[in-house]
Structure 1
Amino acid sequence: MSLQDRTIATIGSGVMAEAMIAGLLRGEQLGADRILASHPRPDRREELQREYSIRTVESNVAAVEQADVVVLAVKPQMVVRVGREIAPALRDGQLILSVVAGATTTALGNVLQRHQIVRAMPNTPARLGRGVTVWYATPDVTDEQRDQAGALLQTLGVELEVDDEKLVAMATAVSGTGPTYVFLVMEALIDAAVHLGFPRHMAHDLVLETLEGSTLFAKASGEHPAQLRNLVTSPGGTSAAALHELESGRLRTVLSEAVWAAFRRTEELGRQLEDATDAPGSRPDRR
């Protein structure tokens, strides 16, 4: 489905929303005049206008009133306040697409008093059209709205629809937070190369090209990573010596614990938001 005749508003136009804006424009399915971003700071609005030539407004309500698709991209702790603010402006037929970490569709439905909601977790490579997004649509989402969500998310890279919302929370810990793990490994390898004696700019290029090439090789081969690792590990060789240190340092365990920590935090945020949005006074007065 084409998005050309749709207006998309991002509420809370931070890093993730900007990645989505950049991805949408890169995909050329939507003109800049069809994207509206709300943000309270004038300097941020000017920055987004200058970089992407999109429209910006200070008012979240004004953005919602002009949108066919509302992308909710605020911090988790702002969901209740912003949700109460925009709920009266929402109208039938609007699709709500949330990229708020941890925010369940139950919590969002409580505060927004709407149930046509897509919960999605993209990641920052979406800015280059190379992201991966796992998303879930509530039963109230129509087929047309589901097609709209899929078309929107395809412009950001790979999109994977799931029928179990918990998989979005799990994806938050793996692919959503994944760039953080990769950047830390990248940083550590660059620092190690500098410690060996490489100039920093050369160390940077060596590491980035190695990571990109290894990823492309893994995708092209279709082999399990363990098979690829064995392919390049000779008995008594340099890779074997390096792997011994990595295994002794519990690299696998630390990575697994990091993923589980991110997942537990995602679930914790979800419970907190459900409690907050179910509390007296948390729901908007729609009279």
Structure 2
Amino acid sequence: MFVSVDEVNSEQAKWIDARFSLQDSGEGRRQYGESHISGAVYWDLEEDLSDMSKKAGRHPMPEKEALTELFRRSGLNRDDLIIVYDQGGSPFAPRAWWFLHYAGFQNAVIAIEGFEELRTKGIPVDDVEAKPVRTDVQPDWNEELYASREFVERTVASRTDSRLVDARAAERYRGEVEPLDPVAGRIPGALNFDWEQLKQDGRFRADDTLRNQLAAIVDPTEEVTVYCGSGVTAAPLYAMLRQVDYPNVRLYVGSYSDWISKEDAPVEKG
């Protein structure tokens, strides 16, 4: 999950640059063009890690065929050490990592350091667009990591053992404000843990204090399904739960924006 590059053999790694801005969708690609880790390929949140033609939320899940093509043209094999980075303390590298995790890339990790810190550590950078050798990798999809809308509907109806955890800010969870989606509120029965609490000084942390904060919300022995507004900021919460030894965690990629896409979808407030 989250590692410092000091803890891995970064010289043998394949790198993925996942920098992005929700305010300016072209910023990450421009940053990549200016400078990136040498050899890194760029994965765009909206072009590669979402299927924006779908109506299943604001950042819908791509089809498996599209993800497989992404892995192959990125030159990846399932046993590669793969390091994903973004600007640091952001949800974009965890989003990219989750798809690798879902597809069976067991040696994929998220760099704790953002790009600028990686550069100051002496990791080589350049502005040359990577052209990796294409592979014929076959993903090994693990459906126990993925929560479909139908799975969440069964969970709301108490027909699964999973506990829903909403990664949005508390005021959005309570339905007091909703800056992005047309309906305020939360999925019924969901607990709340703001993903911003995963960070300290702009970096993700995995200390005992955080373990205790998470355990106060949901027990590590329980199955957990995390969601947010569009499936992006829930990804670091998913990764952190796995980091601190929650063995049964799913990500609802469509998240709240997909949940409310059906007019009769129930929501809670307060």
Q: Same fold (TM over 0.5)?
A: no
* Larger RCO, structures 1/2 (Cα 8 Å, 6+ apart): 2
TM-score calculated relative to the size of structure 2: 0.29
TM-score calculated relative to the size of structure 1: 0.28
Higher helix share: 1
Structure whose CA Rg is larger: 1
